Amino acid sequence: MQISERIQLLQFEKLLEFKDIIHFSTTRTGGFSKNHLAGFNLGYTVGDESKNVTQNLNLLARVLDIDKKQMVSPKQTHSKNIGVVTSTTEIFPNTDALITNIPGICIFVRTADCVPILLFDPVKKGIAAIHSGWKGTLQEISKHCIGRMQKEYGTQPKDLIAGIGPSIGPEVYEIGPEVIELFVNHFTLNNYITPLKNSDKGLLNLWEINHQILIDSGVPKEQIEVAGMCTYSNPELFYSARRDGVKCGRLATGIMLKDKK
């Protein structure tokens, strides 16, 4: 990924090749939030003052050269539900991925260790923003999202460009035996989990498993970019729920088809 100036937005090199979209993953640098949320918190539900979050979102919009009113995000619940966005006034409860083919609508998801995934179909001009924590990954939400893009827009998986954004890394994401059992039972390949010595726990590689789900869904390997940036291990750059608790700040990852001039 490349780091832009000002508020340190991250961008995927593969997606930067396309001039008809804008996209981003935020960091915690810059912004108006204070104390343990210091920086660029974009979550309204973590105890921050609403005015701080609104100022941060307005700043993000200015940097992207759009209006905050163009931005749409779902109310995430670790589901596999997908919202089809047709206007900026819609609300999406119990939803963890958004898709649209309408220029000028910036769709984004919020994360604080979970995996954000962006999809772009340069042929049919469809986009997706996906929130995939361990529950969403277990439900293969990105596969369902691709299926919905096929249904709604005629997307062919072979055409998709995908970015897997900053999230908790495989060297630190410890899970217990109950979650290990769920993954072992669901996925035929079990090399996503590294057992910990003298323990019934293991380390889960969310990056690789989401990467493989995209490949299994028909996205060519060479069209997938994995940021490989760990939110837990970089406290100066990212918020992390596992490190700082569930009331930590929230990052945002989003994408928009540019308005046709």
CATH code for the domain of 230: 3.60.140.10
Q: What is the pLDDT of residue 261?
A: 60
In-domain check, residue 177 = no
Structural domain span for residue 118: 2-167+221-257
Q: What are 154-180's pLDDT values in tens digits? A: 999 999 999 999 999 999 999 999 999
Average pLDDT across each block of 10 residues of the chain; the chain has 261 residues. List them in order: 67 98 97 94 97 96 96 98 98 98 98 98 98 98 98 98 98 97 88 94 97 98 98 98 97 95 60
In-domain check, residue 37 = yes
In-domain check, residue 240 = yes
In-domain check, residue 214 = no
In-domain check, residue 137 = yes
Where do we find the tokens 């096929």? 150
Sign, CA dihedral 160-161-167-173, equals positive
Widest CA span in the chain: 61
In-domain check, residue 194 = no
Q: What is the pLDDT of residue 191?
A: 86
Alpha-carbon distance 173 to 248, whole Å? Answer: 17
pTM: 0.96
In-domain check, residue 191 = no
The total number of structural domains that make up the chain: 1
Sign, CA dihedral 105-157-137-209, equals negative
HEC sequence for 169-232: CCCCCEECHHHHHHHHHHCCCCCCEEECCCCCCEEECHHHHHHHHHHHCCCCHHHEEECCCECC
In-domain check, residue 193 = no
Query: Checking DSSP bridges between strand 115-121 and strand 126-132, what pairing results, if any?
Result: antiparallel
Q: What is the pLDDT of residue 5?
A: 43
